[in-house]
């Protein structure tokens, strides 16, 4: 099977899939909203600002894709409610995992979130979509060049019956994808096209924005970034199918070009550190420390981890895709 089908099965198989059966956030890997509440709070204020910039529409959805434990939505909406009482904000979630959906329902019960299937219902009202560490788990196809032709990388069984990565004998029509000059390997997430199509359709009816935060590169994507993690340690991508998290780096340059081609208004990618600093994360951190002196060090360390270029501040990028013609959002 292509690497993308392997990734999809490992993550989403209803019986054995990693996300479908094993909520591993906080055990196998840790994410920004789980590191500091300030992360979700800043994004909540960002969303509030952009809702106001849209003219404070009465019907409006704050949508999150891949909401994990629901922590970020909880933090975002707490900040929104403190600022404006939450008026106008309907909360919606797109989540593939039944285990996480159950956790989100419980955590966010007072917000009465609606659960969107495959995004069908975005676009009924102006919306802001936010997703953290969601793009990186969309399956990737991988190609390598051999003897002048491109072939797709596949996962199968070797002579011993163990999982192994091989190369499909059929020639791939990979050149249909944009190829870097001289590259001999290539990785692509086909779902980025689908995502841009969905946003384009929605933005042809209503205004809105979609903000994505994830690790990846702005230009010059490497040809193979597939990695697996279990209990905070990197393991081989074939070692623990279904019980390790599988992930790739997001090719933000490609996402930007796809969105520009579709006529969307694109801002970023920018680095997470400067983005959060620009939104005033330091002031929020100091206010939180003043109100919780006993937790000063923990709060400081958490925020530092998010913004420090040596930690998450540079490797994580933020990109905003907006309805055609919308001006730059705050933070870009
Ligand atoms: N945003 C959260 C969780 C990140 S983990 C955080 O920052 O903590 C990735 C999340 O995306 C999980 O909730 C996972 O179940 C969900 N997910 C993965 N693939 C998805 C898909 N194709 N559609 C919807 N949700 C998906």
pLDDT at 175 over 60: no
pLDDT at 27 over 60: yes
- Gap from CA of 171 to ligand 1 centroid (Å): 33
88 inside domain:
yes
pLDDT in tens, 316-325: 999 999 999 9
Nearest CA to ligand 1 atom 21: 96
Of 27 and 51, the one with more pLDDT: 51
Give the mean pLDDT of 156-167.
Answer: 94
Helix H or strand E segment including 268: strand 265-271
Q: Which of 139, 145, 169 is nearest to 156 (CA)?
A: 169
CB 191 within 8 A of CB 172: no
pLDDT band at 239, cuts 50/70/90?
Answer: very high
172 inside domain:
no
Percentage of the residues of the chain whose pLDDT score is greater than 90: 83
Nearest CA to ligand 1 atom 23: 96
146 inside domain:
no
Query: Which residue segment(s) compose the domain that 246 sits in?
Result: 11-137+190-322
CA 118 to chain centre: 15
pLDDT at 146 over 90: no
Of 44-58, 76-90, 242-256, 278-292, where does mean pLDDT reach its minimum?
Answer: 76-90
Task: Determine the pLDDT at residue 225.
Answer: 95
Cis before residue 269, ω within 30 degrees of 0? yes
For ligand 1, mutation pick of 13, 19, 140 (most atoms within 8 Å of CB):
19
Which phi and psi angles does 132 have, rounded to 5°? -110, 130
pLDDT in tens, 192-238: 999 999 999 999 999 999 999 999 998 888 889 999 999 889 999 99
CB 142 within 8 A of CB 3: yes
pLDDT band at 294, cuts 50/70/90?
Answer: very high
330 inside domain:
no
- Terminal Cα distance for the chain, rounded: 40
DSSP state of 170: S
- Gap from CA of 97 to ligand 1 centroid (Å): 8
59 inside domain:
yes
152 inside domain:
no
Task: Determine the pLDDT at residue 184.
Answer: 86
Is the distance from the beta carbon of residue 247 to the nearest atom of ligand 1 less than 6 Å?
A: no
pLDDT in tens, 100-141: 999 999 999 999 999 998 776 788 899 999 999 999 999 999
CA angle 282, 286, 291 (to 5 degrees): 150
Task: Determine the pLDDT at residue 174.
Answer: 59
Of 28-32, 63-67, 128-132, 268-272, where does mean pLDDT reach its minimum?
Answer: 28-32
294 inside domain:
yes
pTM of the model: 0.96
Is the distance from the beta carbon of residue 34 to the nearest atom of ligand 1 less than 6 Å?
A: yes
Give me the number of domains the chain comprises: 1
Average pLDDT for the chain: 93
Task: Determine the pLDDT at residue 121.
Answer: 74
Which atom of ligand 1 lies closest to the CA of 133?
A: 4
Helix H or strand E segment including 317: strand 316-322
pLDDT band at 23, cuts 50/70/90?
Answer: confident
Q: What is the CATH number of the domain that holds 71?
A: 3.40.50.12710
pLDDT in tens, 251-278: 999 999 999 999 999 999 999 999 999 9
């Amino acid at each position: 099977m292509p690497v993308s089908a392997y990734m999809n099965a490992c993550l989403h198989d209803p019986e054995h899939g990693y996300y479908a059966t094993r909520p591993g956030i906080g055990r196998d890997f840790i994410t920004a909203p789980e590191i500091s509440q300030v992360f979700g709070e800043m994004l909540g204020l960002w969303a509030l600002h952009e809702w106001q910039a849209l003219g404070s529409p009465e019907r409006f959805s704050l949508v999150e894709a891949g909401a994990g434990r629901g922590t970020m939505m909880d933090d975002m909406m707490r900040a929104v409610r403190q600022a404006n009482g939450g008026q106008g904000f309907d909360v919606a979630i797109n989540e593939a995992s039944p285990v996480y959906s159950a956790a989100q329902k419980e955590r966010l019960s007072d917000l009465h979130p609606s659960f969107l299937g495959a995004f069908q219902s975005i676009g009924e009202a102006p919306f802001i979509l936010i997703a953290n560490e969601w793009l990186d788990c969309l399956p990737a196809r991988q190609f390598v060049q051999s003897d002048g032709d491109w072939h797709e990388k596949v996962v199968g069984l070797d002579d011993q019956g163990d999982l192994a990565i091989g190369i499909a004998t059929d020639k791939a029509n990979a050149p249909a994808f944009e190829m870097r000059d001289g590259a001999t390997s290539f990785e692509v997430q086909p779902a980025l096209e689908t995502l841009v199509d969905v946003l384009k359709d929605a933005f042809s009816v209503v205004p809105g924005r979609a903000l994505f935060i994830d690790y990846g590169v702005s230009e010059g994507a490497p040809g193979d970034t597939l990695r697996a993690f279990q209990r905070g340690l990197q393991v081989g991508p074939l070692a623990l199918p279904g019980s390790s998290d599988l992930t790739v780096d997001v090719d933000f340059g490609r996402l930007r070009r796809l969105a520009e081609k579709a006529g969307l208004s694109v801002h970023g990618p920018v680095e997470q550190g400067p983005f959060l600093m620009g939104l005033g994360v330091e002031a929020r951190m100091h206010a939180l420390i003043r109100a919780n002196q006993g937790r000063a060090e923990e709060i400081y360390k958490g925020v530092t981890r998010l913004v420090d270029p040596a930690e998450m501040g540079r490797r994580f990028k933020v990109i905003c895709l907006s309805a055609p013609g919308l001006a730059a959002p705050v933070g870009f």
